[in-house]
Structure 1
Amino acid sequence: MTMVQSTSYTLTQLYAFLKQEGLEEHAGKVLDLYEKEKAGTYTIGFAGHFSAGKSTLINFLAGTNVLPSSPIPTSANIVRLKRGEEKAIAYNSDKVPIAVEESRDMERLQDLCKDNRQISSLAIYKSDPSFPLDVEFMDTPGVDSTDDMDRMITEGSLHLIDHLYYVVDYNHVQSEVNSSFLQSVEQRQQPYTLVINQMDKHRDEEMRFDQFSASISEWLNSYNLHPDGVYYTTMHPSHVASWQGNRKLRTDVGTKINKRITKDHLPSLMKEFSEAFRNKYNIGSYEEELATYEGSSVEEAEQRIENLKETYEDKQERLTDLYNRRVRGFLKNAYITPAVLREDAEAYLESMQPNFKKGFLFTKDKTKEERDRRRETFRDHLQQTLEKNLESPASGPVT
């Protein structure tokens, strides 16, 4: 087992400092690293789209059906799958156990996976001897949810993951959500692998597979993304056992587990802690004030103006190119119909049917109120989705 370790002493001292400074969230991340290092756990994480098949993929790789899987968004909190005595432990946001399920009631466990109101994380233990010791699979909420909290939960767990498998839906691989999230992963120098799931949707008569894979490579290069590998999988019952990409992915996961090269997250966390410290004491404003006292000659000022004039036309050309590459690109791949929105649309359309009624007494007023409520819910979620996938990417920084 190859490991890059941070000493327990360093983590202890850092934890004490952050607690003293009142940076509780960051202190919690240091405590996570300390506990992980003491336990010697190797963590394989899974992130990606809602309904892209993350949970089903984990069940396939782990040889279990304990995680919920359906066409509807499922895991809404952090779910860890480990080897041990059969049980499930639910934790609140303070990492305090609030429920212990000794049985393997599948329906009960799947309900716990979906409860993000009381439960922050869930540890599920399975006694199957084929599941390796000191290894855990971590399932995270979808990063494309209309609720920004889901993405924050996923990003807040990256410091525990040694290798990340990012799972995307075949139809929305090149979405702005994926590009943005994977760029943040690259900035953290987090090792990751791209998994393009639901490949049973691919039709060779529409696009040959070699053309499709070439478009994926081009997209990765355009955003300077460098995954360890790209796997094409499907969890469709008709193909799951025979699909070559599934076998390749399982082999890759097995190789990662055997080598167990852990990720030292402390350097990237130190940058995060430094920024939090600067914000707390408003250090940036002092630096800006000092900068105003730095004099410059008239000649230097005139040269800056000339440089701005010379680069004006070049800036126009780059803006045009940015529009063609980015704006048109994300419009084509924008993921604007998540499952939650589809459910709201279905409920609204149902309420508009002539035979739709609410209640038994005063049904006319109740029916109108229910129709108005469903319309408002659908409109609000649609607006959130459009803002997240269309407006936000378009308003990104221009370089």
Structure 2
Amino acid sequence: MSPAAQSRLFRRGSWPEARRIGDILRAETVGGVLLAIAALVALLWANSPWRDGYASLAELRVGPAALHLDLTLAQWAADGLLAIFFFVVGLELKREFVAGDLRDPRRALLPVAAAVGGMIVPALIYVAVNSGSPRYLDGWAVPVATDIAFALAVLALIGSHLPSALRMFLLTLAVVDDLLAILIIAIVYTSDLATTPLLLALVPIAVFALLVRLRVRSWWALLPLAVAAWVLVHESGVHATVAGVVLGFTVPVRRRDQESGPGLAEHFEHRWRPLSAGFAVPVFAFFAAGVSVADAGGLGKALGETITLGVMGGLVLGKVVGVVGATYLVQRFTRARLAEGLSWWDVLGLGLLAGIGFTVSLLIGELAFGSGTAADDDVKIAVLLGSLTAAALATIVLRLRNRVYRRLHEEEQVDADHDGIPDVYQRPEQST
């Protein structure tokens, strides 16, 4: 492969990676649809004559008070179930950089830079809009994260024929900026830190790491350690979902014998992704998205609040400016170029898709303003409207690109020698 081809942005990845990303997309599509259904049910119930029942269900407390775990169902969804989601995020992120195509720094640079740009610009827009309302500035991180399941579901549902390299880019961008969002949660939204439980949490995490290094897969050995780590991190004041990410990072990616085949991280990802995408995230969405527009003073009132305008501006405008801008800077200063046949319209479409912020955005809104407050209700309305707007705009752009890529997509399926690998993945890329 020529040096020029190696420096191409969004160049075609390896066939195993493309096939794996395809499998992930199919799983996330189902999860994204379930997430949307859960959010819609919550909105309908919260704005129906029976909305008091929804509020009562969300505020129902269960759990042992002695361990400070007498939480509401909504808190269990945000603190407990999302830990499963972020465990899978940790597994996926580590696998991408250890064994995936992104282990090459030249490939990792673009989605990481795009994720950082897609975090900074929305935050700046939010702060600029709310500069005259200091009480709202705590929500600056609300529009920084992209919802993986929702974005990938939209990408699949609109029938896009985008190359797998662009799909991998979106997946990695979403994973990276979710990680950045979790770091923000751990650092910025931890007000009362108890160091003793946090230090004690290192014990079950270390034992968990040792066992997975020894390739132990037994749930009865690993699950109690994971629960203990979660409880101690929760007790420390750090958001408990951080425990999920840390545990995911401890799982080895490569096989002990270094032979080809799925490693332990891929095994755990295969086991836990259905629970995350099919249950944990939809249940969180059900409890997080149920804002009563009537109780919040109406949609018109919410749209008049700077907090709503800041979040929507960050998601719809800030994300696309940050993602496209970072991509341009990578090209400008590394002399890399878009692969032949790709257009900046593709980058624009992905930037718009990155503006679909849901799961983590709603979580940060609750942490910043408190669940059930007027500001939190405004955040929910803004996240829902902003995400829908970004999805609609992305659909328009990417559907226009569908025809361009349909013929290329058909060519990529050609397998003249019947070896199971499309011939396009076996040909050297041409330089220009």
TM-score using structure 2 length: 0.25
Q: Identify, as 1 or 2, the structure richer in helix.
A: 2
Larger radius of gyration: 1
Q: Identify, as 1 or 2, the structure richer in strand.
A: 1
TM-score using structure 1 length: 0.27
Higher relative contact order (CA 8 A, sep 6+): 2
